[in-house]
Amino acid sequence: MSVNRRRTTNAIEVNFLARWLVIVFLIGLAGLFFVYLKNQQHAVGNQSRLVEAALREEEGRDEALKAQITSMTSRGALQHRLDDGYITLQAIRDTAIARVTPPASAEVDGVLRTASRDPESRFGPGGPQRAVNR
Protein backbone atom coordinates (compact mmCIF):
# COMPACT_ATOMS: atom_id res chain seq x y z
CA MET A 1 0.00 0.00 0.00
CA SER A 2 1.34 3.15 -1.04
CA VAL A 3 0.42 5.85 1.37
CA ASN A 4 1.07 9.36 0.45
CA ARG A 5 3.60 10.31 2.97
CA ARG A 6 4.12 13.93 2.17
CA ARG A 7 6.27 15.68 4.55
CA THR A 8 4.35 18.29 6.46
CA THR A 9 5.75 21.75 6.02
CA ASN A 10 5.17 24.77 8.14
CA ALA A 11 3.08 27.13 6.12
CA ILE A 12 3.80 30.85 6.39
CA GLU A 13 0.94 32.59 8.03
CA VAL A 14 0.47 35.68 5.94
CA ASN A 15 -1.95 37.31 8.36
CA PHE A 16 0.48 37.06 11.24
CA LEU A 17 3.41 38.32 9.15
CA ALA A 18 1.44 41.23 7.63
CA ARG A 19 0.17 42.33 11.03
CA TRP A 20 3.68 42.45 12.50
CA LEU A 21 5.08 44.24 9.45
CA VAL A 22 2.42 46.95 9.77
CA ILE A 23 3.09 47.30 13.51
CA VAL A 24 6.86 47.58 12.97
CA PHE A 25 6.31 50.09 10.15
CA LEU A 26 4.08 52.27 12.35
CA ILE A 27 6.54 52.14 15.25
CA GLY A 28 9.37 53.13 12.86
CA LEU A 29 7.26 55.95 11.45
CA ALA A 30 6.48 57.19 14.97
CA GLY A 31 10.20 57.09 15.82
CA LEU A 32 11.10 59.11 12.70
CA PHE A 33 8.38 61.64 13.54
CA PHE A 34 9.73 61.96 17.09
CA VAL A 35 13.27 62.56 15.79
CA TYR A 36 11.95 65.14 13.30
CA LEU A 37 10.10 67.00 16.07
CA LYS A 38 13.18 66.99 18.31
CA ASN A 39 15.30 68.42 15.48
CA GLN A 40 12.68 71.11 14.86
CA GLN A 41 12.63 71.91 18.57
CA HIS A 42 16.40 72.41 18.63
CA ALA A 43 16.31 74.54 15.47
CA VAL A 44 13.58 76.79 16.88
CA GLY A 45 15.47 77.02 20.19
CA ASN A 46 18.60 78.19 18.36
CA GLN A 47 16.59 80.77 16.41
CA SER A 48 14.92 82.08 19.57
CA ARG A 49 18.30 82.34 21.28
CA LEU A 50 19.63 84.43 18.38
CA VAL A 51 16.54 86.66 18.38
CA GLU A 52 16.80 87.16 22.16
CA ALA A 53 20.46 88.12 21.82
CA ALA A 54 19.61 90.63 19.08
CA LEU A 55 16.79 92.00 21.23
CA ARG A 56 19.10 92.47 24.21
CA GLU A 57 21.59 94.24 21.94
CA GLU A 58 18.89 96.57 20.59
CA GLU A 59 17.60 97.29 24.11
CA GLY A 60 21.13 98.24 25.16
CA ARG A 61 21.49 100.50 22.14
CA ASP A 62 18.09 102.04 22.93
CA GLU A 63 19.11 102.75 26.52
CA ALA A 64 22.35 104.36 25.32
CA LEU A 65 20.41 106.58 22.92
CA LYS A 66 17.93 107.55 25.65
CA ALA A 67 20.83 108.53 27.91
CA GLN A 68 22.37 110.55 25.08
CA ILE A 69 19.07 112.33 24.40
CA THR A 70 18.67 113.08 28.10
CA SER A 71 22.17 114.53 28.31
CA MET A 72 21.66 116.63 25.18
CA THR A 73 18.35 118.10 26.38
CA SER A 74 19.38 118.76 29.95
CA ARG A 75 19.34 122.32 31.21
CA GLY A 76 23.13 122.44 31.49
CA ALA A 77 23.66 121.24 27.91
CA LEU A 78 21.11 123.72 26.58
CA GLN A 79 22.72 126.55 28.60
CA HIS A 80 26.13 125.57 27.18
CA ARG A 81 24.75 125.68 23.62
CA LEU A 82 23.12 129.02 24.36
CA ASP A 83 26.45 130.40 25.64
CA ASP A 84 28.26 129.10 22.53
CA GLY A 85 25.70 130.76 20.26
CA TYR A 86 24.59 127.48 18.74
CA ILE A 87 20.99 128.27 19.71
CA THR A 88 19.32 131.60 20.39
CA LEU A 89 16.34 132.66 22.45
CA GLN A 90 13.69 134.90 20.95
CA ALA A 91 10.88 136.69 22.71
CA ILE A 92 7.36 135.43 22.10
CA ARG A 93 5.30 137.92 20.09
CA ASP A 94 1.87 138.93 21.33
CA THR A 95 0.32 137.64 18.10
CA ALA A 96 1.70 134.16 18.75
CA ILE A 97 0.06 133.81 22.17
CA ALA A 98 -3.20 131.91 22.25
CA ARG A 99 -5.68 133.52 24.61
CA VAL A 100 -8.43 131.51 26.26
CA THR A 101 -11.77 133.19 26.87
CA PRO A 102 -12.55 133.82 30.53
CA PRO A 103 -14.77 131.21 32.21
CA ALA A 104 -18.48 131.84 32.36
CA SER A 105 -19.63 133.38 35.61
CA ALA A 106 -22.19 131.70 37.82
CA GLU A 107 -25.82 132.73 37.92
CA VAL A 108 -27.30 134.79 40.68
CA ASP A 109 -27.95 131.67 42.75
CA GLY A 110 -24.27 130.71 42.49
CA VAL A 111 -24.79 127.70 40.23
CA LEU A 112 -23.01 127.52 36.90
CA ARG A 113 -25.42 126.34 34.24
CA THR A 114 -24.04 123.72 31.85
CA ALA A 115 -27.01 123.77 29.46
CA SER A 116 -29.06 126.64 28.22
CA ARG A 117 -32.53 126.10 29.75
CA ASP A 118 -34.71 129.15 29.96
CA PRO A 119 -37.30 128.73 32.76
CA GLU A 120 -39.77 130.92 30.84
CA SER A 121 -39.54 128.62 27.85
CA ARG A 122 -42.64 126.55 27.06
CA PHE A 123 -40.46 123.46 26.55
CA GLY A 124 -38.45 121.76 29.26
CA PRO A 125 -39.01 120.90 32.89
CA GLY A 126 -40.59 124.23 33.87
CA GLY A 127 -42.91 124.69 30.90
CA PRO A 128 -46.28 123.14 30.08
CA GLN A 129 -46.24 119.73 28.43
CA ARG A 130 -47.73 119.19 25.02
CA ALA A 131 -50.68 116.82 24.94
CA VAL A 132 -50.74 114.14 22.28
CA ASN A 133 -54.19 113.29 20.91
CA ARG A 134 -54.76 109.86 19.56
Q: Which DSSP string corresponds to 22-76?
A: HHHHHHHHHHHHHHHHHHHHHHHHHHHHHHHHHHHHHHHHHHHHHHHHHHHSSHH
Tens-digit pLDDT profile for the chain (134 aa)?
Answer: 566 666 677 677 888 899 999 999 999 999 999 999 999 999 999 999 999 999 999 999 999 999 999 998 889 888 998 999 888 888 888 888 887 776 666 667 766 666 555 555 555 555 455 555 54
Is 34 a member of any domain? yes
| Cα separation, 39 vs 44, whole angstroms | 9
Question: What is the DSSP-derived secondary structure letter of residue 104?
Answer: P
Is 50 a member of any domain? yes
Which residues fall within 8 angstroms of residue 77, CB to CB, at 6 or more apart? 71
Please compute, for residue 127, the number of CA atoms within 13 A of its CA located in the half-sphere on the CB side: 11
Is 85 a member of any domain? no
Is 62 a member of any domain? yes
Please check whether residue 87 is in contact with residue 81, taking contact to mean a CB–CB distance below 8 angstroms.
yes
| Cα separation, 50 vs 42, whole angstroms | 12
Q: Which domain holds residue 56?
A: 14-75
Is 122 a member of any domain? no
Is 25 a member of any domain? yes
Is 29 a member of any domain? yes
Is 52 a member of any domain? yes
Total domains in the fold of the chain = 1
At residue 49's C-alpha, the angle toward residues 47 and 42, to 5°, is: 55
